């Protein structure tokens, strides 16, 4: 009897230590992505503010063309601040939801020198044409939601380990929602935020790659941080 109890206990302990997969192997990519999306949406509902460090690389004919590094700040009601470190080490851009213009501070050490530009002005868009109001987590989550539900997912590519999930999303382009494109998206299971995004055209050519790291969440960012 003692031996039987010991064996049963070992079986229970083994089962408890065995990781339970988040997804069934039978699940379709659409369903798997929807599960991830639900976790992202649930996690973001608890977020009042966050910051992260971003490196964005843009490609031309398959070769690296331009590289940017910046620190991104976000506060509820879509307050955004972007502090560049490369190639513009003193440039900051400010934006608030509902505004059709953004404030640009070319030199952070000269706060009196600031300019207002339309968010559609190419001067303050990314190389790929992305506007400042298309850069926050809420917009990204909505982008995934719309496309996984409306766009046919063309191939099976979904990978999960203990720390992250990577999947391919076929979508209408992130900027104008016109052209079909492919996105390789890596999500951290620590906070359900994206940590790597790659964007490809239909020809399979990489358009851009984004690395995101050093997230801080709910640190009570002050409103004055978002006012130049």
pLDDT 10s digits, 55-107: 999 999 889 999 999 999 999 999 999 999 999 999 999 999 999 999 999 99
pTM: 0.85
- The CATH H-level superfamily of 36-226 is Lipoprotein localisation LolA/LolB/LppX (2.50.20.10)
- pLDDT tens for the 228 residues of the chain, in order: 433 333 333 333 333 343 434 444 445 667 899 999 999 999 999 999 999 999 999 999 889 999 999 999 999 999 999 999 999 999 999 999 999 999 999 999 999 999 999 999 999 999 989 999 999 999 999 999 999 989 988 877 899 999 999 999 999 998 888 899 999 999 999 999 999 999 999 889 999 999 999 999 999 999 999 999
The answer to whether 37 touches 148, Cβ cutoff 8 Å, is yes
């Amino acid at each position: 009897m003692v031996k039987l109890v010991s064996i049963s206990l070992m079986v229970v302990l083994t089962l408890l230590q065995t990781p339970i997969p988040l997804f069934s192997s039978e699940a379709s990519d659409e369903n798997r992505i929807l599960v991830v999306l639900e976790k992202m949406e649930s996690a973001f509902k608890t977020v009042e503010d966050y910051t992260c460090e971003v490196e964005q690389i843009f490609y031309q004919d398959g070769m690296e063309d331009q590289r940017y590094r910046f620190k991104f700040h976000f506060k509820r009601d879509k307050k955004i601040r972007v502090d560049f470190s490369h190639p513009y080490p003193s440039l900051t851009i400010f934006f608030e939801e509902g505004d059709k213009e953004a404030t640009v501070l070319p030199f952070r050490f000269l706060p009196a020198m600031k300019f207002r530009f339309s968010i559609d002005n190419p001067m303050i868009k990314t190389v790929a044409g992305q506007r400042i109001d298309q850069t926050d987590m809420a917009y990204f989550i909505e982008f995934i939601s719309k496309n996984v539900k409306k766009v046919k997912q063309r191939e099976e590519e979904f990978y999960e380990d203990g720390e992250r999930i990577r999947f391919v999303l076929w979508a209408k382009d992130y900027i104008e929602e016109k052209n079909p494109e492919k996105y390789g998206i890596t999500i951290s299971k620590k906070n359900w935020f994206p940590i790597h995004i790659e964007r490809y055209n239909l020809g399979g050519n990489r358009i851009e790659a984004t690395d995101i790291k050093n997230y801080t969440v709910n640190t009570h960012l002050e409103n004055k941080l978002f006012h130049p």
